Each structure stands twice: as structure tokens, then as C-alpha cells.
Homo-oligomer: A and B are copies of this chain.
Amino acid sequence: MSLVRLFYPKTIAIVGASQNLDSIGGQPIKYLQKYGFKGNILPVNPKYSEIAGLKCYPSISDINEEIDIVLVAVASKRVLSVVKECVEKKAHFVLIFSSGFAEIGNVKEQQELIEAVKGSGTRILGPNNQGIVNFVEGIPAGFNPLLDAEVVRKGNIGIVAQSSGMGFASIGFAIERGLGISHIATVGNQADIDIMELIQFMLEDEHTSIVTCIIEGVKPNSRLPELAKLAKQKGKELVFLKLGRTAVGKKASMSHSGSLAGDAEVFDAFCQQAGVISVKDMEDLIDVLVGLQGKRPGGNRVVIATETGGSGILAADICDEFKIKTPGLTEETSSSLRKILPSFASVQNPVDFTAQFFNEEDLFRNCLLEVVKDSNIDVLMFSFGPTRGKVAEKMADDIIKVSKTLTKPIFISWLTPEQPFFKKLRAANIPLYPTPYRCVRTLGYIMRQESSMMSKEEKSASKPKHAVQQAVSLTEYQTKKMLEKYGIKLPKGGLATSFQEALNLSAQIHYPVVLKLMSPQITHKTDAGLVILGIKDEQELAASYNALLERAGTSFPQAEIEGVLVEEMVQKPVAEVILGIKYDVSFGPVMIFGLGGIFVEVLGDVARRVLPLTREQAFGMISSIKAFPLLNGYRGRPKGDLEALADTILNVSHFALEQQDKFAEMDINPIFLMPEGKGVICGDALLIPR
């Protein structure tokens, strides 16, 4: 059912309505009247006959109209009976403000609410939320003191907030920064209507072009990837503030909204891939929303202009930290500036316009006009010092005038508290920040998203379909044979079930060879001494073969023996790498890539990506680990076959996507990365069945 009536209702009933208009049951009445809601407001409370000049009904069933929204502000133990009445009455939406459900462990009580509406046309938002406000038409179907204190401007930002307080807090800061809001929906425990449905509504709402979501957990099998695609199609922006990122935060989140917070690293990996912005604090959220009011940068080259050397340096330092380029100006621009500016001005990047424009009226505008012409830059960033007063206002006016003629964005850091003329800059949609750090950080967020958007190809390598046997307790040999079907290269060799077969295989593949005992009951072969490396000749082969069977017989008398895997000893790899697959409840299969051993385990030097991947993203994954130089011809050593590695990543990705019902985890470790042109070889592989 569409959520349109939830956001654009004609009739709103309030159960638990109160004559105290500051209480939870009173606030919605006060705000609906204040905002001039044109529909019907229907207070419900058997204690009163009238509230704030409106007729008050004893119960929902006493109302003789179609009801779009029922707001519920009664004690938790009374909620279920109210919901049942609403179903009876065929009300469209029930917004339950009351707390005391799954967020404090009362899962059964919450389940009863879900059961009560099941199969009916009635849907629930909440419990444990603060409602919905439509600022476009002025319909505050919620409660929060902010609605009393502030005038919220209509605008292009829609907010979906799991934590109601955080949602309304974001509006407070948005007002301060001159931003306008279309809707806010607070979500609470998501017993029925969930975050994704609300995001979808906002993506489809004509008044909303930026959807902000303050989220704690993403539910299993989330529709988020689909919504990210929808946002892209519609040319709208999605910006997330994810709470519960750390172990401590997750625990707190659990007790606050009764939902699991999920893995923040996977969430960030998804966002990066999907061209969605993921911020970490309220302030960077608001800063990004300000930045998205401006034009979009076409690349990541920034020229910094300043009138105060120090703030230019600070901005340059921070650009470097966020990997934003600050190339020099073209010779043409430099020499034009030289002609205008005093000799002590720097015409590098940062460009120092100097305080000389205090004395020369048109100097600032003339410099500005030269700099924006430069073909080397995508963004002009002003990093101003504390200049204020009339001179500063004229600078702002010049910027506004010039900006109108540009396709490039202008971003400003102005190291001074709020000035009256800042309003003009905001009205002209020129992003404005109090410090270089916040300005550059915002550019970093927006540019990362842009570059992700640009590099994302929808085409993905073709996916072969294979019939694969059921996955229970596969041996290394069986696992490798499955992987081979997906194009993953194995060491030369095969399974021997007698010494003679082992002898023949070894002769074919040439010594030295490796022997590994295969049994579905023995997964940790190396620890059990069931792998022997570097066998040089027939004599050693015989001794090793017998030793393996003996050890297995002694240590694992019950184990079925599939045979002995005979493989070539892979010589001189450039590196041993790891590919792992984990299944994330929200996003499905996630790939992990890194160098073997301590690189992953001690140093945590890994790259993560949500599947599927494009070939370009596979390369991005390879080159994003810190140890990448070791794969790429470090200190005269041979360069690894990165093309083959990328292919293998895609092949493993196909495998993982197709087989995700059967396996909980996969670990290919090591993969031998051979020198260029020599491919990669799967050394060992382990699948953990579901």
C-alpha cells in the first residue's frame, strides 16, 4: 500500500489527547493548529468533551469519518486494544508514540501489535517514535518541542530517522544553516513500516531531492541496494548517518531500538560502491547537506584562494589528508594574476589574493574572474580568514554574481562566526563553512561519491551457471574441483587412492610435489601433520605417502579417507594472498581481500566489497590495500599477474553469489600470485556449509 496518505493525510485522530498541550498527547494538537492543518483534527479521550476548541471523542469507534492517521499516545499496556479498534475502524495508519516494546525486550507485546494488523488494510509506524511531519503542506503529525520553537523552511531534504531525537536534532541544525526540509519520518521499532519503505516514498516524492537517513541497523536482505539504484535513476542523493558503529555503540543501540546494528565496515563498503554518502556525526551530515545544495564538482582538483596565508595553508594540508588534488594554476592564469596582484602575493595554489583588496575596490572580483577561468580546476574553494564588514560583504556579492555564470562549484570556508551577509550566500546555494576542515571534509564526501558514481559500470563479467553437488563437509579436493568450474586455476595434480597413482601423478607433474591427506572429517590438515611439502623424489614420496596414512589412522581412526591429494609445489610466487567470503545479514555476500598471514590477521590490512563487483572495482579492491606495492613489483621484484587476480576475484564472486544458499563462509588461502602472464593458483580452499 502506498504511503501517500501517511504523508498527506486529511484526517488525523489523537488517542490519548491531552488538554496539557505540552504533553505528548497534547503537542500534536498544538502543532497541527499552529501549522494551519486544513484537514480534520480529532482528539480522542473519554475524560474530555473538548480540547483546544476541538470536539473530543470518547473512543476511535465514536468517530464517523474515514481516518487516515491515528496518533497513539497512551501507556504501552493500552496500545494493543487501541490498535484493534483502529483495525476495526479501517484507519489507514496507526502511529504509535508509546515506548515499552521490543526496545526493552518486550518482543511478545510488539509481536501482538503486528498480529493485530495482519491481513487488514491498517499499517503501523512505530512503536517508540515521534511521528511524521510534512513541511511542504504543513502537517505535523508528531511531537517534538522543536516544532514549537522553530520555523522550518520548506525545502528539498527528506529525513528518515530511526532515532526520533536525532531526526529532530538534524532539523534544528538545518534551520541554522538555511536548509529547507520536505518531510521527516521518525521510525522507532519498525514493527511494520520500515526504514526502506520510507526511503522509497521519499525517493518518489516530488518535493524531495536529497534523502537523509539516520539509521542504526539494516535489516537482513535489505532492499537498500535496490533503493540506491532507484536514487541514481532519479538523480537524487542518499546520505546516511549510521549509529551503532562500534561494539559499545551496538550494545547501546540494541537496548534503544531493539534492533541489531550490523557491521559498520560492510555498510561503508556498500555505500562507497553504491555512490551513497555515509557520514559519522551530526555535524558532517549537516555539512554534506549544505554541500549538496551547491553545484556538483566534475572532478577532484581544487584551487584554494585566500586573503590570509595561514588559512590557505590549513586548507591545503587538509586537502592532502582527504586525497583531494591541489594542482598548480595554468601559466596563463598565473601570469594574469601577476599583473593584477601586488608582488608579495602568491599565485601558486593556494592563491593568496592578500589583504590588498582592502585598498583596491575591484581587485577581488578581478582575481576571482581570472581564477575561475583556469582549466586545471574542478572546484574553487575560498579559505578566508576573519575578514568581515563592508569589504567582506562586497566579496560575497562578487562571488554570488560570478557563481551564477559558472558550472564549477564555489565552496567557502570563512573563519568567522555568523555574519549578516552569510544569508545571501546561502540563498545563492553557495556552500559555506566556518573552518577549512569542515569545508574540505565535505568536498571529500561529495567527491568520493562522485568518483564512485562515475566509475561504477553496470555491466559485470558474464556469470556462468553450474550445477554443483550439495555442500556438506567438502574436502579441499572437492572444493577445488567446484572452484575450477568457475574458472579458478588449481595447481597441477590430482587425487591418488593408491601409492601407484601418487607415483604416476608425481611423475606427470614433476618433483618437488606436495601431499595432503583428504578426509571430509578432517578440516585442519596442517595442524594435524597431514600436509607434507617439498617432496623431492620417489623415495621421499613413498615415505611421505605412508606417513600420512599412518598419522591419519592413529589420530583419526574413525575418519573416512578420500585419498591423498598430489600437487605440484608452486614455485616462486610474487605473493600469497587471501580471498574470503562472509555473508552479511543486510547485504549478502561480502568479499575480503588481503595478503596472507599477519597482513590480514595482525595488521588488519584488508579491502572489503559487497558483491557483485565490476572488473574495475576488483582492481580497486586490489590496489586499495596498504601492502599493494608488494604485489606490484616492489624493489625490483617481479610484478604479480594482477589481471589474472582480478579475474579470479570476479570468478570467486560469481561462485559466492550463486552458492550463497549453501555456504556460510569461504576462505581461499593461500592464492599464489604468480609473476605477470603466469596467472594465479589456488593453493588451498575451505568452504563452511550453512
A residues lining the B interface (CB < 8 Å): 22-24, 76, 99-100, 103-104, 144-146, 148-149, 161-166, 168-169, 171-173, 175-176, 214, 216, 243-249, 251-253, 255-257, 280-284, 307-314, 316-321, 326, 342-344, 346, 348, 350, 352, 354, 358-359, 385-389, 391, 415-417, 434-438, 598, 602-605, 626-627, 629-630, 634
Contact = CB atoms under 8 A, between A and B. Distances in A.
A615 B273 CA distance: 47
Residue of A172, A605, A626 ringed by the most chain B CB atoms within 10 A: A172
Contact of A145 (B23, B163, B387): B387
21 contacts: A23-B358, A100-B343, A100-B344, A145-B386, A145-B388, A146-B388, A149-B389, A163-B311, A164-B310, A165-B309, A169-B416, A214-B310, A243-B313, A244-B313, A246-B320, A249-B316, A252-B316, A282-B435, A283-B435, A283-B438, A603-B626
In the complex, the 4 A-B pairs of residues with the closest C-beta atoms, listed nearest first: A163-B310, A165-B308, A165-B385, A256-B309
B243 A314 contact: yes
A225 to B, nearest CB: 24
Given A165-B307, A309-B257, A627-B602, A243 B317 contact: yes
Contacts of A22: 358
Contacts of A148: 389
Contact of A252 (B246, B312, B344): B312
Given A169-B311, A253-B313, 7 more contacts: A163-B309, A173-B434, A176-B417, A245-B317, A255-B348, A281-B436, A283-B437
Contact of A320 (B173, B248, B257, B313): B248
A169 B343 contact: no
B282 A103 contact: no
Nearest to A253: B313
Contact of A172 (B166, B354, B417): B417
A319 B100 CA distance: 28
Nearest to A173: B417
A470 to B, nearest CB: 34
B169 A256 contact: no
A611 to B, nearest CB: 27
A255 B434 CA distance: 24
Contact of A415 (B248, B282, B350): B282
Contacts of A313: 163, 216, 243-244, 249, 252-253, 256
- Determine how many copies of this chain the complex contains: 2
Contacts of A243: 310, 313-314, 317
A165 B634 CA distance: 45
Contacts of A256: 309-310, 312-313, 346, 352
A257 B346 CA distance: 11
A22 B392 CA distance: 13
A308 B249 contact: no
A521 to B, nearest CB: 24
Contacts of A173: 415-417, 434
A129 to B, nearest CB: 11
Contacts of A311: 163, 165-166, 169
Contacts of A308: 163-166, 169
Nearest to A148: B389
Contacts of A175: 417
A172 B385 CA distance: 10
Nearest to A385: B165
A318 B346 CA distance: 39
B346 A255 contact: yes
B282 A252 contact: no
B168 A385 contact: yes
A348 to B, nearest CB: 6
Contacts of A163: 308-311, 313, 385
B165 A316 contact: no
Given A166-B308, A172-B416, A314 B246 contact: no
A161 B321 CA distance: 23
Nearest to A434: B283
A257 B168 CA distance: 46
A169 B252 contact: no
